[in-house]
């Protein structure tokens, strides 16, 4: 973890936090292993690796735009 900056680690935590709202606990990555020994979940949430999910309304808007451009 020493190879990552404080800001990257902080952003990783904030990215993780943004994904847990409304997510069934069964499907969440366990926060106890976020900086774990065997599984480093924080790597998935680093700024260069994290891809936020788009909301339903954003997806719908995108589909409407695609259809209107035909």
* Residue 64 in domain: yes
28 token code pair: 């969440």
Q: Residue 43 belongs to what domain range?
A: 6-68
* Residue 23 in domain: yes
Model confidence pLDDT, tens digit, residues 32-42: 777 877 777 78
Nearest Cα neighbor of 32 from 19, 16, 46, 8 is 16
Q: Which residue's structure tokens are 């936090």?
A: 17
pLDDT for res 60? 53
Region 6-19 average pLDDT: 88
Residue 28 and residue 53: Cα distance in Å, rounded? 14
* Residue 1 in domain: no
Q: How many separate domains does the chain show?
A: 1
């Amino acid at each position: 973890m020493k190879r990552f900056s404080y800001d990257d680690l902080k952003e990783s935590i904030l990215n993780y936090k943004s994904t847990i709202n409304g997510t069934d606990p069964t499907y969440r990555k366990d926060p106890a292993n976020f900086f774990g020994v065997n599984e480093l979940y924080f790597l998935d949430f680093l700024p260069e690796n994290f891809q936020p999910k788009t909301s339903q309304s954003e997806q719908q808007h995108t589909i409407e735009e695609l259809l209107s451009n035909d």
